[in-house]
Amino acid sequence: MALFKGLLPLLLCLLGMLSSAQAEVQLPAIISSNMVLQRDQPVKIWGTASPGEKIAITMGSDSYEAETAANGTWSVTLKPMKAGPVPDITISASNTIQLTDLLAGDVWVCTGQGNMEMTLTRATSGTLETAPDEIATADYPQMRFFQVRTWKGPAQQNIPLAEWAPCSPDTAPSFSAAAYFFGRELHERLKIPVGLIQIAKSNGPVEFWTPRSAFGNTIEDANSALHYSKEYAKLKKQYDKQLENWKKRAEDAKAKQQPVPPAPPAPPTPKEFIPQIGSLFETFVRPLIPYGIKGVICYQGEGNLGRALEYAKLMELTIQSWRTAWEQGDFPFYQVQLPNFRIIRPNPTESELAELREAQVTAAKSQPNCEIVCGIIPGEDRVQSQNKLEIGKRLALSILKNTYEKRLVDSGPTFKSVKFDGPKAIIQFDNIGSGLMIQGDTLKGFAIAGPNHKFVWATATIQQRDTVVLQADTVATATAVRYGWADNPDVSLYNKEGLPALPFRTDDWPGTTTPVASRKQP
């Protein structure tokens, strides 16, 4: 009894400390000092505390109050803010949190696979030698990064190892190069603060970024719809070839004392794949909601190679589910097409990369406020292209035109129509800017076919500002044309603003990713 009396004050003290800890206000990692709040719209701030805890929030002369719900959560909605510096935010309850160095501007979520994940240290404007200059000049205090470096931890928890930080030579090297160059272009052109939220992960098929609930009642239903198990053997065979090629390139790089290129990601086995459906959404995306955003840029698709027929519907589902979850309407969603890689083929062939690029266009056209950016850069030959400066600029141009309504040329030539006249194909283009042009000496990348469905390279000439005429000696009656239809297309059609034409085809003939049973021979 005496021992208990001696311990009683200590127990009471510990209980008091536990009660105090439970009552303390906590914020998700996305809400912190240095953050960029989305301008010109109501701003939600939220967190956790003990049920019934009263929360007081002040921001300059504005005051807000909230009471913690039974589930331990609270939120308030701040009034819209104009672009620029904004007052500090003070959150008070049993403890006080001060959020400082805040800005209002435009916030963009930057998502995808390895191409979005590639850091500024690794990617440059085409050559590694320029990296030190890019990093040394990366000093933009009103451009802020929020980078998620891991995705471990259960859903709904604060995102670990992530915080807002101003862009500087210290913070930029480890940030997404594509996102950095995109954000820098927006910041310099719009003269407003820009916030970039990086949530990217190599080897992340689009299914991993989509909520499980979007697929149906069970994961088995999702698997049946995706046919992943049937495709795995093909994907594994492709990966084995890529791995052997990478090993040779890695040894060559080591011998030349150059940086070793990243290894290709292995496709998950069916057993690994099914539990991961929705996993990246739950751990990367959901903890950000309902943080105010302007829109999304996406650089994804490698993880879905071999399944182009499914991809268009899957990407459409992903866009819809993100918009539904965020409850911010049809916010802008921009996607970069797959880059060009693998060997350049001497003759026209079917291409799973070309088919997936087409699926990306199909998904974008199916949804409002979505645009596609060409990811092909002649001379590149790797799944994670290095020239992220060019990709960032193309993204920025598209967004400046379509979201910010700036008067500029935002895209390279896009297919408009075709007229067949015997052996000739007469193609008209949209988005020609000041007119069509050839980059280099020869107009390359066009193939033409007749009724036998056999494509051959075509002789192509530019006629007028918006027209290309094709012909091939071995095709007497032209019925279909393709441009840039290859894994690594050798192409040269641009507009005079220096933007490349997007790949296209005029036929709907079954390709390499069409199930064998449904392929019909002409």
The pLDDT > 70 percentage for the chain reads 87
426: its two tokens: 């007469």
Read off the pLDDT of each residue in 439-462 and give the average, rounded to a whole number.
Answer: 96
Read off the pLDDT of each residue in 31-42 and give the average, rounded to a whole number.
Answer: 97
Higher pLDDT, 514 or 256: 256
419: its two tokens: 């007229």
Q: Where are the alpha helices (DSSP H) in 57-119?
A: 114-117
Q: Report d(CA 226, CA 267) in Å as an integer.
A: 15
Task: Compute CA distances 467 → 413, 424, 430, 472, 481, whole Å.
Answer: 10, 13, 10, 17, 14
Residue with tokens 């800005």: 103
**In CATH, 18-100 is 2.60.40.10:** yes
Q: Bridge-partner residues for 144, per DSSP? A: 166, 195
> 234-242: long-range contacts (C-beta < 8 A, 24 or more apart)?
234/306, 235/267, 235/305, 235/306, 236/266, 236/267, 238/305, 238/306, 239/264, 239/266, 239/267, 242/383
Q: Is 228 helix (H, G, I), strand (E, B) or coil?
A: helix
Task: Compute CA distances 313 → 214, 356, 360, 385, 499, whole Å.
Answer: 12, 12, 10, 26, 28
| Predicted local distance difference test score (pLDDT) of residue 521 | 37
Q: Bridge-partner residues for 59, per DSSP? A: 62, 89
Residues 355 and 486: beta-carbon distance below 8 Å: no
pLDDT tens for each residue of 108-158: 999 999 999 999 988 764 454 556 688 899 999 999 999 986 544 444 444
Q: Report d(CA 148, CA 116) in Å as an integer.
A: 12
CA dihedral sign, ordered 433, 435, 436, 439:
negative
Read off the pLDDT of each residue in 435-460 and give the average, rounded to a whole number.
Answer: 96
Q: Indicate the domain borders of the chain.
A: 18-100, 105-402, 414-509
Residues 383 and 300: beta-carbon distance below 8 Å: no
| Predicted local distance difference test score (pLDDT) of residue 131 | 60
The answer to whether residue 387 scores a pLDDT higher than 80 is: yes
The answer to whether residue 517 scores a pLDDT higher than 60 is: no
Query: What is the topology classification, in CATH, of domain 105-402?
Result: Rossmann fold (3.40.50)
Residue with tokens 């910010």: 404
Q: Report d(CA 81, CA 247) in Å as an integer.
A: 52
| Predicted local distance difference test score (pLDDT) of residue 42 | 96
How many beta carbons lie within 10 A of that of residue 62, not counting itself? 11
Closest residue by Cα to residue 28 from 413, 217, 382, 291: 291
Higher pLDDT, 222 or 173: 173
Task: Give the HSE-up count for residue 215: Cα atoms under 13 Å, Cβ half-sphere.
Answer: 24
Order of all β-strands in the sheet with 459-463: 414-421, 424-430, 467-471, 459-463
CA dihedral sign, ordered 120, 122, 124, 130:
positive
Continuous segment of H or E residues that includes residue 357: helix 352-365
| Predicted local distance difference test score (pLDDT) of residue 277 | 86
pLDDT tens for each residue of 475-486: 999 999 999 999
How many beta carbons lie within 10 A of that of residue 176, not counting itself? 30
